[in-house]
């Protein structure tokens, strides 16, 4: 049950786009389209931003989008805004009937 | 709307036990799989356990297998996590989460478990 690999930090200026990668294996990210992304502000509970690789829950801005290629999933945030500054985590269902998270990425809006 | 309220956290000595509870409302609890996810202070998220909507299956992370037990009482709309043989590395905020196969739909605010002598 190794954690998925995410960059520790990314940054961007308001209005720019950033992409956060999430690398797993053929036993998790590559096995199913059950990758999801979560936003967490300090002291708050996580909130789902993307599910099943590229679907946005109701109420989530269309500035957030997701994709996947082989064993790597990606979250892209376009038109960066100050309120996007947060920690972001990816997650995947695995062949072992478990779930695994990435280590998290701290997004800084410059 | 979905509401999940955790309770039962606290300070416990190494080797001790606790029972965490999660009161669910705003959705049909008996139709939903449920997870526990934890977050150590200043660290990332770690999936802990999952129980099927009808309690027919339970799954655990290797780090807690044999020490933690997930259960549910659907008539009471309540999820539980019995945590035992606690270690300092189990110190974390424990979140109750409404689940789906793709992951984690709605989160509670969490309850803090501190393992310390």
**B79-112 tens-digit pLDDT:** 999 999 999 999 999 999 999 878 899 999 999 9
Radius of gyration for chain B, computed over Cα atoms and rounded to the nearest angstrom:
13
Q: What is the mean predicted confidence (pLDDT) over A31-42? A: 97
When pLDDT is cut at 50, 70 and 90, the band that residue A2 belongs to is confident
The angle at the Cα of B24, spanning A61 to A86, to the nearest 5 degrees, equals 30
Q: What is the mean predicted confidence (pLDDT) over A91-106? A: 96
Q: B46: distance to nearest CA of chain A, Å?
A: 6
Q: Kindly tell me if the per-residue pLDDT of A73 is higher than 80.
A: yes
pLDDT on residue B103: 87
pLDDT on residue A85: 98
CB contact under 8 A, B102 and A3: no
Q: Kindly tell me if the per-residue pLDDT of B5 is higher than 90.
A: yes
By the CB < 8 Å criterion, does B3 face chain A?
no
By the CB < 8 Å criterion, does B100 face chain A?
yes
CB contact under 8 A, A38 and B59: no
The CB density around residue A1, as the number of other CB atoms within 10 Å, is: 13
Q: What is the mean predicted confidence (pLDDT) over B7-36? A: 97
pLDDT on residue B101: 79
Q: What is the mean predicted confidence (pLDDT) over B32-44? A: 97
Q: Is A36 exposed, middle or buried (0-12, 13-18, 19+ CB in 10 A)?
A: buried
Contact, A81 vs A109, CB < 8 A? yes
pLDDT on residue B97: 98
* Rounded-to-integer distance, Cα B47 and Cα B94, Å: 10
Q: What is the mean predicted confidence (pLDDT) over A12-19? A: 97
Percentage of chain A modeled with pLDDT above 90 = 98
Strand partners, A71: none
Q: Kindly tell me if the per-residue pLDDT of A1 is higher than 80.
A: no
* Rounded-to-integer distance, Cα B16 and Cα A18, Å: 45
Coil, helix or strand for B17?
coil
Kindly tell me the number of DSSP H helices and DSSP E strands found in chain B.
0, 11
Query: Whole-angstrom distance between the N-terminal and C-terminal Cα of chain A?
Result: 35
Q: Kindly tell me if the per-residue pLDDT of A45 is higher than 80.
A: yes
Which conformational region is residue A80 in: left (phi greater than 0), alpha (psi within -120 to 50 degrees), or beta?
Answer: beta
Q: What is the mean predicted confidence (pLDDT) over B45-71? A: 97
Q: Give the count of alpha carbons within 13 A of A28, CB side only.
A: 24
Q: Kindly tell me if the per-residue pLDDT of A108 is higher than 90.
A: yes
Of A38, A97, A102, the CB nearest to B104: A38
pLDDT on residue B27: 96
Q: Give the chain B residue whose CA is nearest to the CA of A6.
A: B44
* Rounded-to-integer distance, Cα B56 and Cα B31, Å: 12
Encoded tokens for A89: 């985590």
Contact, A57 vs A66, CB < 8 A? no
Q: Which sign, positive or negative, has the C-alpha torsion B72, B78, B84, B89?
A: positive
């Amino acid at each position: 049950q190794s954690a998925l690999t995410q960059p520790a930090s990314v940054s961007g200026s308001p209005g720019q786009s950033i992409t956060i990668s999430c690398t797993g294996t053929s036993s998790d990210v590559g096995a199913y389209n059950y990758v999801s992304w979560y936003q967490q502000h300090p002291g708050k509970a996580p909130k789902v931003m993307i599910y099943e690789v590229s679907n946005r829950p109701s109420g989530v801005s269309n500035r957030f989008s997701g994709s996947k290629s082989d064993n790597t999933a990606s979250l892209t945030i376009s038109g960066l805004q100050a309120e996007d500054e947060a920690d972001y985590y990816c997650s995947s269902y695995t062949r072992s009937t478990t779930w695994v998270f990435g280590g998290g990425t701290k997004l800084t809006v410059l | 709307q979905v509401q999940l309220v955790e309770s039962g956290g606290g300070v416990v000595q190494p080797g001790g036990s606790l029972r965490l509870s999660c009161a669910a409302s705003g959705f049909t609890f008996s139709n939903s799989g449920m997870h526990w996810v934890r977050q150590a202070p200043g660290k990332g998220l770690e999936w802990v356990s999952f129980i099927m909507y009808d309690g027919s299956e339970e799954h655990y992370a290797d780090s807690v297998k044999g020490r933690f037990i997930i259960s549910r009482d659907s008539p009471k709309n309540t999820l539980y996590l019995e945590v035992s043989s606690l270690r300092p590395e189990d110190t974390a905020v424990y979140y109750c989460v409404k689940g789906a196969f793709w992951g984690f739909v709605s989160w509670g605010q969490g309850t803090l478990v501190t393992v310390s002598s």
